[in-house]
């Protein structure tokens, strides 16, 4: 039964198809990461301009892309996100291919995005917990990342 589910997922979700070249995998990971940031930004039903700026800044830092490539990446990730509407695919790809330190770094960047408006609402809190679990991170690691970003941003 599980193999049929795996086959369905692999055949229906571009991001998890096997036999990717290193460049294809790199692009899929960038899309998956961007999709998680977009999901976090949209979760409270209120995408602020500051959040869009923060996402672009984060992607530039994470991937070393210029602004036009970041805009292209965001557009592709938006389309993937709309087509899939399931963060499992994106988080699963990251979980399988990023190091533990990279996953923690993504979590910290997600907390930075959450705090762009200075507060954490219930939807953001629920989603960051879900993403942490999907990435295979412990609850304590999520809290540590939160505290680190609070201190960095001088938020109490």
Could you tell me the CATH number of the domain that includes residue 6? 1.10.3680.10
Judged on CB neighbours under 10 Å (0-12, 13-18, 19+), 82 is: exposed
Q: How far is CA 35 from CA 28, 38, 127, 140, in A?
A: 10, 5, 13, 24
130: containing domain: 2-152
Quick: pLDDT tens for 28-60: 999 999 999 999 999 988 788 999 999 999 999
Kindly report, residue by residue over 87-141, the tens digit of the pLDDT. 999 999 999 999 999 999 999 999 999 999 888 999 999 999 999 999 999 999 9
Domain total of the chain:
1
pLDDT at 140: 98
- CA angle at 139 for the pair 150 and 82, rounded to the nearest 5°: 85
Q: Which residues contact 138 (CB under 8 A, 6 or more apart)?
A: 132
pLDDT for 4 equals 46
Position 10 scores a pLDDT of 44
């Amino acid at each position: 039964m599980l193999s049929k589910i795996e086959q369905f997922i692999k055949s229906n979700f571009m991001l998890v198809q096997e036999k990717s070249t290193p460049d294809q995998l790199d692009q899929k990971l960038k899309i998956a990461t961007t999709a998680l940031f977009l999901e976090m930004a949209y979760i409270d039903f209120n995408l602020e301009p500051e959040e869009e700026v923060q996402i672009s800044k984060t992607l530039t830092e994470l991937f070393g892309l210029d602004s036009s490539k970041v805009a292209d990446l965001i557009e592709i990730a938006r389309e993937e996100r709309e087509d899939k509407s399931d963060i499992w695919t994106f988080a699963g790809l990251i979980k399988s291919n990023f190091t533990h330190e990279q996953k923690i770094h993504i979590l910290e960047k997600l907390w930075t995005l959450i705090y762009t408006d200075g507060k954490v609402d219930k939807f953001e809190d629920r989603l960051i917990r879900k993403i942490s679990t999907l990435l295979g991170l412990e609850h304590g690691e999520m809290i540590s990342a939160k505290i680190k970003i609070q201190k960095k941003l001088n938020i109490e």
